[in-house]
């Protein structure tokens, strides 16, 4: 795969895991589209990467934004659905405000869904593409859904289901769609975590650059397939 001929787009790329993923992809020679909800933050993040990095304003909860960005930036070969929010830590399932659950679904699930609808058809038409869903162990039945953050947990379970559906639809087209559990990573969401964003980015970028005979429709942790 010639990285210099491929374009990679990362959502929520202005900080944390998204920024580290963008940096790693840039280092490997990909043309990176750095997206953020705020235009100035997107510009700063792209400028910090240098090279061919381009900024784009993208709020995945905006129904029209993914298609608008697609029309602005042109063909994209890799999409890393990293943008995500957690709003309900410490709220038990029986008491969590449904509005918080709805807002998390809007970003964590529907945002990724919109991105797939905007960019997957072009990948299929060109016969090559990679989509990575940045998921969580809290969304895996094999790991155990977290009652400490119920809306977030269920949203990641739904994201895993979306991964399977999109992979099934694109089977045999040259497009691979997978989910990655990066573990607990030191970000604004988990400031006390020991794992650094740069470490998580290695696994995510690995999934984003799988060879043509790589897996699709699987859940990855530490570059190994794990149960849903």
Q: Which residue in the list 135, 136, 153, 155 is annotated as catalytic?
A: 135
Active site residue 146: no
Please state, in angstroms and rounded to a whole number, the distance separating the CA atoms of residues 171 and 152.
28
Query: Tell me, what DSSP letter sits at residue 188?
Result: S
- Give the other-Cβ count within 10 Å of 41's Cβ: 17
Place of tokens 């593409």: 129
Exposure b/e, 183-194, CB count within 10 A at least 16 = b = bbbbbebeeeee
Distance CA 212, CA 40 (A): 36
Phi-psi region of 165 (alpha: psi -120 to 50; beta: other; left: phi over 0): alpha
Of 22, 153, 156, 216, the active-site residue reads: 156
201 torsion bin: left (phi>0), alpha (psi -120 to 50), beta (else): alpha
Distance CA 117, CA 113 (A): 6
Q: Which of 22, 136, 152, 153 is catalytic?
A: 152
The yes-or-no answer on residue 224 being catalytic is no
Contacts (Cβ under 8 Å, ≥6 apart) of 130: 77, 78, 79, 175, 176, 177, 207, 208, 209, 210
For the chain, how are helix, strand and coil distributed in percent, rounded to 5? 45, 15, 40
The answer to whether 142 is a known catalytic residue is no
Please list the active-site residues: 135, 152, 156
């Amino acid at each position: 795969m010639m990285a210099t001929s491929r374009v990679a787009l990362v959502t929520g790329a202005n900080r944390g895991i998204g920024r580290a993923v963008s940096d790693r992809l840039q280092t490997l020679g990909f043309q990176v589209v750095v997206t953020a909800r705020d235009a100035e933050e997107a510009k700063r993040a792209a400028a910090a990467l240098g090279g061919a990095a381009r900024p784009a304003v993208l709020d995945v909860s905006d129904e029209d934004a993914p298609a608008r960005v697609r029309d602005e930036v042109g063909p994209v070969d890799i999409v890393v659905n990293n943008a995500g929010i957690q709003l309900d830590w410490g709220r038990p399932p029986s008491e969590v405000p449904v509005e918080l659950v709805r807002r998390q679904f809007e970003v964590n699930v529907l945002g990724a869904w919109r991105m797939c609808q905007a960019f997957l058809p072009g990948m299929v038409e060109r016969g090559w593409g990679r989509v990575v869903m940045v998921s969580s162990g809290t969304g895996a039945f094999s790991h155990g859904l977290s009652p400490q953050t119920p809306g977030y947990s269920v949203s990641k379970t739904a994201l895993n289901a979306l991964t399977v559906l999109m992979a099934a639809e694109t089977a045999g087209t040259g497009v691979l769609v997978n989910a990655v559990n990066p573990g607990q990573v030191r970000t604004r969401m988990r400031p006390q975590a020991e794992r650094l964003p740069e470490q998580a980015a290695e696994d995510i970028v690995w999934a984003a650059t799988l060879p043509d005979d790589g897996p699709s429709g699987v859940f990855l942790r530490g570059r190994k397939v794990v149960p849903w």
